[in-house]
Amino acid sequence: MKILHLIASVNPTHGGPIESVLQGALAWARLGHETQIACLDHPSDPWVKACPIAVHALGLGGETYDGFRKCLPWLRYGYSPRLVPWLKANRGGYDAFVVNGLWNYVAFAAKRAFSGGNAPYLVFSHGMLDPWFKKAYPLKHIAKQIVWLFSEGPLLTGAASVIFTTEDERRLARNAFWPYRITERVLDFGTADPPAASIQQIEAFRAAFPRLRGRRYLLFLSRIHPKKGIDLLIRAFASKARSIADLDLVIAGPDQVGYRAQLEGIARESGVGDRVVWPGMVQGDLKWGMIRSAEALILPSHQENFGIVVAEAMACGRPVLISDKVNVCGEVEASKSGIVAADDRAGTETLLDRFLALSDDAKAKMGAAGRQCFLEKFEIGRSAVSLLDLIAELRG
């Protein structure tokens, strides 16, 4: 089959959705299927050129565009006059379409282009129907409800299937917007097994961050964003830091909303400014060396659809400490591969207290359980086959 993924951007700093698309495409290629991507990036964007699969970059770009985008809402939404005509002209060349994400022009364009088409389309909401956003950003939610009535709502109603990655995500989505008329499906989701552990990975990490050589640390690895609970993490870490002198906190990931400066201020005010390390975005051997060298991954998010990094840490045999708002918390608890607590200050302190009280043997068993859980539930081959089977079923 030949399948087209639609996504706002192939920029890897945008988080898990593009990573899952790319890893799934590689898994499909091994099974003899072809994947292409249509996105709102500009053809000259470096991440388009670096993408390992074929990309149709149909967005606008250039210095003039970037200037207007800051002040024109429809450009911030991602509007491009090229996308809908291209989709209509090329929709006969694909066996199925997969729309990744909501609340950008890709969703509206897909709704316009696929109405009445013969090829089925599916939609991954990627956590974008979670009611947490309604509570956190009530004014934005009102605007989204209006958009829902003529864009996202009809898109999802017309989809052959709207795919959720966990039962919790499906359950929570039902309370987000009205009217809700959706054909729901929960499918396996995951990521590729990381490269095998190597000295090269560890040395890449040590060379980049010599100050962490010989020290223990907890690792946060995700976007720097208010929904991730990083402020809680820093304060919880500060409350334990005095009694554990050899433990640091590493907060790695891209800062797309300018939140890091505020968090650095919290760290200084809490007395741990010199105990928190900020590597920025990490990739390749540096990333895997950082995960494998960590005591544990910690992700105290207020909302997390899946958390690709949780699966990656489990694949590397690292314990995971997560909030009960990360939608794979049930699998983590059931497999005894980590610790789950509430997404508040007390809950984050509980994550630290319970983990730091474990023996080295107990931590090793927790990591081994995570590795087994990854292989059974989150390895990309399972999710790739599940999605292919669904597409074949929908095509009849």
pLDDT by residue (tens digit) across 384-396? 999 999 999 988 7
* Closest CA relative to residue 252, chosen from 313, 304, 194, 303: 313
Could you give the 3-state DSSP secondary structure of residue 185? strand
Chain centroid offset of residue 26 CA: 18
The H-assigned helical ranges of 174-215 are 199-208
* pLDDT value at residue 183: 95
* Closest CA relative to residue 321, chosen from 262, 363, 290: 363
DSSP H or E run through 339: strand 338-341
Kindly state the average pLDDT of the residues 85-97. Answer: 94
Q: What is the pLDDT of residues 183-203, one digit of tens each?
A: 999 998 888 999 998 889 989
Domain ranges of the chain: 2-189+380-395, 199-378
Kindly state the average pLDDT of the residues 123-141. Answer: 90
Cα–Cα distances in angstroms (integers) from residue 231 to residues 342, 345, 348, in the given order: 14, 9, 10
Q: What is the pLDDT of residues 209-260, one digit of tens each?
A: 998 988 999 999 999 999 999 999 999 999 999 889 899 999 999 998 899 9
**For the domain 199-378, what is the CATH code?**
3.40.50.2000
Asked if residue 276 lies in contact with residue 267, where contact means CB atoms within 8 angstroms, the answer is: yes
Domain 2-189+380-395: CATH architecture, name and number where available: 3-Layer(aba) Sandwich (3.40)
* pLDDT value at residue 190: 85
Cα–Cα distances in angstroms (integers) from residue 230 to residues 65, 250, 362, 384, in the given order: 33, 11, 26, 32
Residue 117 above 70 pLDDT? Answer: no
Q: What is the pLDDT of residues 281-306, one digit of tens each?
A: 999 999 999 999 999 999 999 999 88
β-pairing, 54-57 vs 96-100, is unpaired
* pLDDT value at residue 134: 87
